[in-house]
Amino acid sequence: MSNKYGLGYLPDDAGVQYPSHHGLVAAGPPTLDTADHIPYRSGTVYQNGVGECVAAWLKRAVQLWQSLNGFESDDMISATFSYGVGRALAYAGVNPDDAPPLVDLGSKPSLVLLGAQQVGVVLEDHYPDPGSATWDTSSVNARPTPDALVKAYDFRGLEFSDVIRGAWGFKESIRACMVRRQPVGFSLFVDSRIFDNTGEIVTAIDRNDPDGGGHMVGVLDASREDFVVLDNWWSLPGVSDWGLLLGNEHGPAGAWRMAWPLLERSIIQCLAVKAVPFLARKVA
């Protein structure tokens, strides 16, 4: 990747469509007072230079959804597994012997999400991520093995929606999902100033920065009027200090802040996730 932290967002193919978030909003009234998911965040999501930011966001979104909806668990899904499944899905129908090898150049949200929905998810304990002491770098471009697939939890109930910019911008649309306990994430171009962020509110992005690129982040707190608190996958205590200065005052370690006007201009793709509890597959 172009920086030590890792990026990895690739735009979906033309013609890919998601249901609108309006279905989530219509399903029921708000059950949270504010669009703040920080109290429900737990566990570590760390990218370590790998291009799995989309799968890292899914990992955090699943953890948040389960905690928000009464299924809190110490287990977290493997982003590396979902990253591999999403890239392999691009060659569905191709003889495995003829398919090109996987490369660490990022992934498309539609394929990562469909992969989780159709193939399932595996826990990080069984398929370690970059933040794990047992992580093996060779797993990044390895196709999921039959042994790993056997350990997959059924995630066919996973739903994902396109968060549509409303008449008042993305702010109200994002908040409408979050107060209904649905985690939200979005893609944007990030520049090297964000790589060097130490806690200040991000108010500008240089879209011509040759070291920048597409990235997927999560929304942690959309309740404030002047800035939004975002989750990221670049911080691991004792290893990577990115964003740790922010942790004590406005959010957990590794979170960062962006001014709402910049967020409104920067979003490439905004998605909401409705996950499911972990359900072991039935063996016939």
Q: What angle do CA 37, 43, 44 make, to 5 degrees?
A: 110
- pLDDT (tens digit per residue) in 56-111: 999 999 999 999 999 988 899 999 999 999 999 999 888 878 889 999 999 999 99
The confidence band for 247, taking pLDDT boundaries of 50, 70 and 90, is very low
The three-class DSSP label of residue 35 is coil
What is the DSSP code string of 75-92?
A: --B-HHHHHHHHHHHTTT
The confidence band for 244, taking pLDDT boundaries of 50, 70 and 90, is low
- pLDDT (tens digit per residue) in 6-50: 899 999 999 999 999 999 889 899 999 999 999 999 999 999 999
The three-class DSSP label of residue 219 is strand
- What's the confidence (pLDDT) of residue 166? 83
Higher pLDDT, 50 or 235: 50
- What's the confidence (pLDDT) of residue 195? 85
Mean pLDDT, residues 113-130 taken together = 95
Q: Set out the domains of the chain in order of their start, with CATH numbers.
A: 22-274 (3.90.70.10)
The confidence band for 4, taking pLDDT boundaries of 50, 70 and 90, is low
Residue 247: CB atoms within 10 Å: 15
pLDDT at 232 over 80: yes
Residue 133: CB atoms within 10 Å: 5
pLDDT at 177 over 80: yes
- What's the confidence (pLDDT) of residue 171? 96
- What's the confidence (pLDDT) of residue 239? 73
Please provide the average confidence, as pLDDT, over all residues in the chain: 90
pLDDT at 194 over 60: yes
Adjacency order of strands within the sheet including 269-274: 159-162, 269-274, 184-190, 213-221, 227-231, 256-259
